[in-house]
Structure 1
Amino acid sequence: MPDPVIGRLLLITGASAAGKTIVGHEVASLLSRAVHIDGDAIQRFVVSGAVPMDVPPPPGAVEQLTLRYAAAMTVSSLYRRAGFDAVITDNVFEAHLTGLLFVAFADAPSEPVHVVVLDPPLEVIRKRYDTRPGGGYSDTITPEALQEAVARTPRIGLWLDNGHHTPAETAAEIVDRLDETAVTQRELLVRVNAPERTTS
């Protein structure tokens, strides 16, 4: 009996105010059968006892961030196994990104994960943040700090400077270049196990 068709998993990340949420919604709307799972929406499930992330992380913050990622992956798995593509948008950087990908591959080892990193210029992020409601930054979690975290993130998938494109234009480009976003388990293992380059 053939394996049931499993939907694709798209992970869109980037600094706060990079445009992840609206772009993710636009991407899902361009696919024939898709759900959009936003990390901020999952965070709002916590009615009391929330511990916001900060630098350094206060007690409980990393654990709640891990729960947020796990919840997104669980929901995406349920919908993917029903034949939906799942688009996750969240702040996922550095080792958190590779860790999340390994969770995805544990669920569906033969399926690639489609990774998109939105990387607009710092001045664009500041302008967008100043004109949007909600949070994302603090005295210690600044646009500069998150952009540095993005820069330290493994260069896998498709990286886009969407600073001068509308969300609809960015979403259309992502869908048009979907093959370039694909990250396989083998590719990730090679990247993680590759020796770090040193400079003399």
Structure 2
Amino acid sequence: MRSRAVILITGVMAAGKSTVAQALAERLPRTAHVRGDVFRRMVVNGRVEMAPGEEDEARRQLDLRYRLAAHAADEYFKAGFTVVVQDVILGPDLPRVIGMIHSRPLLVVVLAPRAEAIAARERARSKTGYGEWTVEQLDAGLRETTPRIGLWLDTSEQSPEETVDEILMRAWLEGEV
């Protein structure tokens, strides 16, 4: 059994990242939950959201958010915590962010429910996060451009608790980048 690790959970919006990451952190001893979106929300004036055809400033802010989350993960890990990092990290950004996190072991979990499950979850949520993106665009970004790194889970039919059980069984015991 591992004593601690950094666990990076990614997927599109409404994939269940926040819920699963929090539930996972609650199941493991001495944990910290690093929510990448917190760093985005810290920008009070001048925030530029990622949108199709991203502009340069949006990309710079996204990269800053990823660097801050990676640094926070490393610092918590150095302090003796298992760290669950959660954010939307798709396409070529995934290996870049993995490279930004220096602590090991590093476990990568990609929540990849089917697009129709995402759409249903998005309709049921009180918050909306897609902005100018469509479910189909983000799903394509996940499936067509994201390298197959780590544990990919189709969580379409799983509860958050079942997803955490599978992560603990498959990634915590076996997986590592």
TM-score (norm 1): 0.82
CA distance in 2, matches of 1:80, 1:135: 31
**Alpha-carbon contact 1:157-1:182 (below 8 Å) kept:** yes
Aligned to 2:142: 150
Q: 1:35 aligns with which of 11, 32, 37?
A: 32
For 1:84, which of 65, 78, 81 is the aligned residue? 81
Unaligned 5+ residue runs, structure 1?
A: 1-5, 184-200
User: Hey, what's the Cα distance between the residues in 2 that align with 1:83 and 1:72?
Assistant: 17
Using a 3 Å threshold, how does the CA distance of structure 1 residues 129 and 161 change in structure 2: closer, same or farther? same
RMSD: 1.4
1:51 to 12, 26, 48: 48
SS at match of 2:56: coil
Radius of gyration: which is bigger? 1
Q: 2:162 aligns with which of 137, 161, 169?
A: 169
Instruction: Say if 2:96 is the partner of 1:96.
Output: no
| Runs (4+) off by over 6 Å | none
Cα distance in structure 2, aligned partners of 1:43 and 1:138: 15
1:9 aligns with 2:1: no
1:171: how far off?
1.0
Distance 2:18 2:173 in 1: 21
CA distance in 1 between counterparts of 2:92 and 2:175 reads 18
1:126 aligns with 2:119: yes
Question: What is the total number of aligned residue pairs between the two structures?
Answer: 173
Counterpart for residue 110 of structure 2 = 117
Structure 1 residue 30 displacement after superposition: 0.9
User: Are residues 1:179 and 2:167 paired?
Assistant: no
For residues 33 and 76 of structure 2, the distance between their equivalents in structure 1, rounded to whole angstroms, comes to 10
Provide the residue aligned with 1:135 in structure 2: 128
Letter in 2 for 1:37: V
Deviation at 1:93, TM superposition (A): 1.1
Sequence identity (%)? 39
Structure 2 counterpart SS, 1:37: strand
The whole-number CA distance in structure 2 between the counterparts of 1:95 and 1:146 is 14
- C-alpha distance in structure 2 between counterparts of 1:8 and 1:46, whole Å: 29
Q: CA deviation at 1:7?
A: 4.2
| Amino acid of the structure 1 residue aligned with 2:134 | T
